[in-house]
Amino acid sequence: IMSVLDSSGNGKFKDYLTDLNTKFLSGIRYDFLVNNLGKKLFGSATFVGENVLAENEFFVFSYIPPKKGVEKGINLFHVGGMIPYSDNVFRLLPEVNFFLPFINQGIGIYEMKIKGDINTNPDLAKLTYQKVIEDVHYFSDMAFEHNGKKRMILEGYCGLGMPAIVSFVSDVENMKKKFGVVTVFVAPIDGRRCGRLANFINTTPDTILYGSLLLAELKKEPVPAKQTGMGIDLVTRSTFDKTQLGKFIKGWKQGKYAKAEKIEDLDPIMRMDLAGTYWISPDAAARFPMAVDVNRNINAIFIKGVDKNGKIPIKFKGKELSLTDFKKTDVKVVAFYGEDDPMIDYHSGEI
């Protein structure tokens, strides 16, 4: 066909077919690109001078120093734990990641990070919400000593915002010595006010919502990855994108992927696209499922929420917890939300 078009001089139609062909090739290769190049790129950020301070069966605890040559500021403690599709997103790419803006402004990072994935670390299925909080206490003690007993910022992003809050109010006297500021980013505090996501969880029949948790608990397995991601996919309207046809159409729109064979073939936009797409892919979801107890406590945030007296629907060692305990300290609480976020409505932070 191309040779006939060449001889006929019909250049525009030839260009159209050529473009169509490259988009077709991109579409049928998209799954390969995401699960290979995207997987290699995702969570690949490392930092000059970073140092592993400790680790246990669930977490690796590291210190990332601020950028050399900039004025050093207060250090930040990043709460780790389980979030859908994994906390590797905070190290998305060397050039684009959550920590880079902080270290470039002189803020050192103490990072809690999930250790491995379910394939390399099957013990992750046993992680509990209480263990996350205990490890925040333990690692922040270590960070406080490492930081010369200077107060730090306690930070939690999205699903890790409530663990940051819970870790503070469950041990106020100790935590207020270590932290002068608690900050959360797009965190569902009163999850009932999270619009579409809360509606999905609250309208799911109990037999499905709790039955699957009970079954996973009896089998001593984590919550199936498909269940964890289903609500997020519906809220973000990305369900179709993860079907075979959806993957094809996504590639169909990106003809430049047709010839990409290795990471060096990718431009900056392609790198972000593939790394980000892998993060919310079925393969990533399968590698980073949610432990049953963690999932159960997250559901409580969206089903029960925070009551009018500030009571949190999560207990620590049998103790009831309340946001009003912040008022007993000089600690400042700072929250950041997007004005039009389909996942985490900013009203969920209005307590």
Q: What is the pLDDT of residues 175-184, one digit of tens each?
A: 999 999 999 9
Residue 344: its pLDDT value, please? 80
DSSP helix/strand/coil, 322 = strand
- 278-327, pLDDT tens digit by residue? 998 888 988 998 888 898 888 888 888 899 899 999 999 999 999 999 99
- 15-29, pLDDT tens digit by residue? 655 666 666 666 677
Per-residue confidence band for 341, with pLDDT thresholds at 50, 70 and 90: confident
> Is residue 119 exposed (0-12), middle (13-18) or buried (19+ Cβ within 10 Å)?
exposed
- Residue 206 contacts by C-beta under 8 Å, 6 or more apart in sequence? none
- Residue 166 contacts by C-beta under 8 Å, 6 or more apart in sequence? 129, 133, 312, 314, 316, 321
Q: Supply the DSSP string of 297-319, one letter for each residue.
A: HHHHHHHT---TT-EEEEEETTE
Does the pLDDT value for residue 113 go beyond 90? Answer: yes
Question: Are 91 and 97 within 8 A, CB to CB?
Answer: yes
Per-residue confidence band for 198, with pLDDT thresholds at 50, 70 and 90: low
Question: Are 85 and 114 within 8 A, CB to CB?
Answer: no
CA distance 254 to 270: 9
Question: Are 50 and 62 within 8 A, CB to CB?
Answer: yes
Per-residue confidence band for 348, with pLDDT thresholds at 50, 70 and 90: confident
Does the pLDDT value for residue 221 go beyond 90? Answer: no
Strands 76-78 and 319-322: unpaired
Per-residue confidence band for 2, with pLDDT thresholds at 50, 70 and 90: very low
Question: Are 114 and 124 within 8 A, CB to CB?
Answer: yes
CA distance 112 to 99: 12
Q: Which two tokens stand for residue 35?
A: 């699960």
CA distance 176 to 139: 15
Q: How far does the chain reach from its first CA to its final CA, in angstroms?
A: 66
Side chain identity at residue 153, one-letter code: I
pTM attached to this predicted model: 0.85
Per-residue confidence band for 189, with pLDDT thresholds at 50, 70 and 90: confident
Max Cα–Cα distance, the chain, nearest Å: 83
Nearest to 81 by CA among 305, 319, 323, 288: 288
DSSP helix/strand/coil, 347 = helix
CA pseudo-torsion sign 264, 253, 275, 182: positive
CA distance 57 to 76: 23
Does the pLDDT value for residue 277 go beyond 80? Answer: yes
